Amino acid sequence: MPTAQINGHTMYYEIHGQGDPAICMGGWGTFCHGGERNLARGLTDRYSVLLIDYRGIGESDDDLSVAPSMTLFAEDVIGLLDHLGWTNVHFIGLVGMGACISQRVAIARPDLVRSMVNMGAWARCDDFLRDQLEMFGTVHRDSGFEAFQKFVTVMSFLPEYYNENKHKLLGPDGGWKELNGHYEAHARFIEACIKHDVWDELQHVKCPTLVIHAGQDLVTSPRTTGPLERLIPGAEGVTMEDVAHVVAGKDQKIRFCNILLPWLEQH
């Protein structure tokens, strides 16, 4: 189990596959500890994919005396890449924090970022997104993890998919399980997400960027992803009209891979 002392904390990471370097980061969870099965099919056949536990979950600890921010999480990633000696990395940021961290790294250390993919992200929170994020935390704090898990799941999947797969989506092995028993880490994630604001800095992103818009997303809809495409110089945008907050189901995953993998190969 590889760990490194990065930016004042112990950081857990995994590397899967072979090829050019890439890092894939999601939202309030991890692709580590077996979660690599949820990566885009074929990604690890073509790339060495770095996965991490954010500070406070999985096998990464945290220093609670340090205020949470997206810059802090970006500095963790920068520190780990410097530790590994990686540069010119494909950044794949999906569904929230991972995309926002990627933005911060692309701004601060362009030498590290070969390309960037953003999905389910934002340049700054408007009141609607801020109140949603705060409500997720309130439910977790006041009603417990199970209530939070159900709330965030019904907000993140299409009704048809939820109805067919509820038994897999909820429970101890279901979505967002890394937050079970870790409300404090969740609260720190939320604070970092709410404070994230790169609206006036995205003009400095130099890497090729793909923004994927999810047409049925109730949390990070094209309302929040649209400005990313407009603000990042040269960014390309693709809309998946029938996709909610999470890409789910065989058909959606195949179409997602058919967007992601050819785009990465071009860059």
User: Model confidence at 79, in pLDDT bands (50, 70, 90)?
Assistant: very high
Nearest to 15 by CA among 47, 41, 38, 59: 47
Buried b (16+ CB within 10 A) or exposed e, 112-124: bbbbbbbbbbbbe
pLDDT (tens digit, 9 = 90+) per residue, 194-248? 999 999 999 999 999 999 999 999 999 999 999 999 999 999 999 999 999 999 9
Has residue 266 got a pLDDT over 80? yes
- Tell me which residue of 191, 179, 186, 185 sits closest to 61, measured CA to CA: 185
pLDDT band at 75 (very low <50, low <70, confident <90, very high): very high
- Other Cβ atoms within 10 Å of 232 Cβ, number: 26
For 88, the 3-state DSSP assignment is coil
- Point out which residues pair with 13 in neighbouring strands: 52
Closest CA to 24 of 11, 46, 43, 8: 43
Instruction: Quote the CA–CA distance of 39 and 41 in Å, as a whole number.
Output: 6
Provide mean pLDDT across the span 160-180: 96
**Distances in Å between the alpha carbon of 247 and those of 118, 160, 255?**
13, 13, 10
pLDDT > 70 fraction of the chain, expressed in percent and rounded: 100
Contact 199, 124 (CB under 8 A): yes
Residue with structure tokens 């979950």? 57
Query: Minimal CA–CA distance to 76: which of 18, 120, 23?
Result: 23
What pTM does this model have? 0.96
CA distance 168 to 152: 14
How far apart (Å, rounded) are the C-alpha atoms in residues 88 and 22?
A: 9
Confidence at residue 1, expressed as pLDDT on a 0 to 100 scale: 64
Q: Which of 129, 177, 185 is nearest to 155 (CA)?
A: 129
Give all domains of the chain, ordered by start, each with its CATH number.
3-124+197-266 (3.40.50.1820)
pLDDT tens figures, 6-60? 999 999 999 999 999 999 999 999 999 999 999 999 999 999 999 999 999 999 9
Using the CB atoms, write b or e for 172-210: b if 16+ within 10 Å: eebbbbbbbebeebbbbbbbbbbebebeeebeebebbbb
Whether the Cβ atoms of residue 240 and residue 210 lie closer than 8 Å to each other:
no
pLDDT tier at 117 (50, 70, 90 boundaries)?
A: very high
In the structure, what pLDDT confidence band is assigned to residue 95 with cuts at 50, 70 and 90?
confident
Distance between CA atoms of 112 and 81, rounded to whole angstroms?
Answer: 8
As a whole number of angstroms, the distance between CA 16 and CA 206 comes to 27
